[in-house]
Chains A and B, each alone.
Chain A
């Protein structure tokens, strides 16, 4: 065992031990999304105000008169986390400038699920990022509307079965590919865009810290494993997060001022997607030829990303 491995093994002990999201929240067993939330809050530390969208993380954390939040927190509606965050940021900025609150940096963050980001919240997100608010937007992406009962969103992957994209005789699940919101954020010239996954906690926390240091907008898209919605065992949550990265289905990367960088080890050959698909009930209906189709799509996306990493220069 060399020192580097030792460091990796014991790295969990080095993260901020303070918890910013209390136990007693009502997330499902083995929820990858609440773990993502717990870790990102560790990355943020203190001096944060949270604007949250309606969704799983809101429902499981704030049944009046209880709250799992330790930060100042506001929830208004489903589609407007970025707009509410814009207001929070502007309010804090004005009050600080006018000497009405303490003169120190307080970071505004907005959190939404994939529906609240890629679908109903996309307009508010685009507006907030374009206006350049000093705010981090987190998309906790569990690839469907889990809170309402596993309906498809535009972030649901190709061929996944959900309650509104069922695996039927004629149509085998979701007909479209996953909307690439990080790419949309890059197109907004957001200075820091990253993808992350709670199975890689140190990577996730480091990205959050980087985003917090940016003066301006930042966007982090966090893959959030959902055993309930994906119909798989709760204990394999972390394993699924590793598999999605190792198969190249959800690569970990960051884009700083337009410059792409892979933050995972570049594998010589990606693991076959079947390894990731097979443990999940939402992909149970797939035939070998379906899996082959998905494999081809993943390979193509991977190549596109590698090209960007190679070619794109910082703006």
Chain B
């Protein structure tokens, strides 16, 4: 049965802090790495046009679009790389891409 023996430091620095075999015991901790800074454009959702179909959610390569409490699918801009797939695929035209400001 899988188990971990030692508490893992987030960022090993010294050689003796490297986990045996570089194993990582924190599944999905890549979420600590924010890819949102990559984007040149950001998606803006017009909730008046949105029909809550979830097409943007299913096609997001980042898995960063999730349903909010009101049933709208919103992109987490902390991860959104601004690829524009959601805006392109949104057939009611509820998502537009706008230039990211510096």
Contact = CB atoms under 8 A, between A and B. Distances in A.
Any A–B CB pair closer than 8 Å: yes
Interface residues of B, number: 46
Interface string A59-74: 0011011111111100
Contacts of A101: 1
Given A9-B53, A29-B83, A61-B30, A235 B88 contact: yes
Interface of A: 9-10, 12-13, 15, 17, 19, 21-27, 29-32, 34-35, 38-39, 61-62, 64-72, 101-102, 198, 201, 227, 233-239
Contacts of B30: 22-25, 61, 66-68
Contacts of B60: 35
Q: Is the interface of A mostly helix, strand, loop or mixed?
A: loop
B3 interface: no
Tell which of B1, B30, B35, B89 has the most Cβ of chain A within 10 Å.
Answer: B30
A235 B85 contact: yes
Contact of B24 (A19, A30, A64): A64
B59 A238 contact: yes
B54 A23 contact: no
Contacts of A12: 53-55, 57-58
B81 interface: yes
Contacts of B55: 9, 12
A67 B19 CA distance: 14
Interface string B41-65: 0000000000111110111111110
Given A24-B32, A25-B62, 11 more contacts: A13-B67, A24-B34, A29-B83, A31-B83, A64-B22, A65-B24, A69-B27, A201-B58, A234-B83, A235-B84, A237-B61
Contacts of A201: 58-59
Interface of B: 1-2, 8, 10-12, 19, 22, 24, 26-35, 38-39, 51-55, 57-64, 67, 76, 79, 81-85, 87-89, 97
Contacts of B11: 65
A38 B81 CA distance: 16
B31 A23 contact: yes
Contacts of B97: 235
10 contacts: A13-B54, A15-B58, A22-B63, A27-B61, A30-B81, A35-B59, A66-B29, A67-B26, A235-B85, A237-B83
A23 B76 CA distance: 10
A290 to B, nearest CB: 28
Contacts of A31: 61, 83
Tell which of A31, A65, A71, A239 has the most Cβ of chain B within 10 Å.
Answer: A65
A139 to B, nearest CB: 18
A38 B54 contact: no
Contact of B88 (A35, A66, A238): A238
Contacts of A19: 63
Contacts of A237: 61, 83, 85
B2 A10 contact: no
Given A21-B63, A66-B29, A68-B28, A30 B57 contact: no
Contacts of A235: 83-85, 87-88, 97
B35 A23 contact: yes
A52 B102 CA distance: 38
B54 to A, nearest CB: 4
A238 B85 contact: yes
B30 to A, nearest CB: 4
A19 B28 CA distance: 10
A87 B75 CA distance: 39
A101 B1 CA distance: 6
A23 B62 contact: yes
A34 B81 CA distance: 13
A236 B83 CA distance: 9
A40 B55 CA distance: 17
A70 B25 CA distance: 10
B85 to A, nearest CB: 6
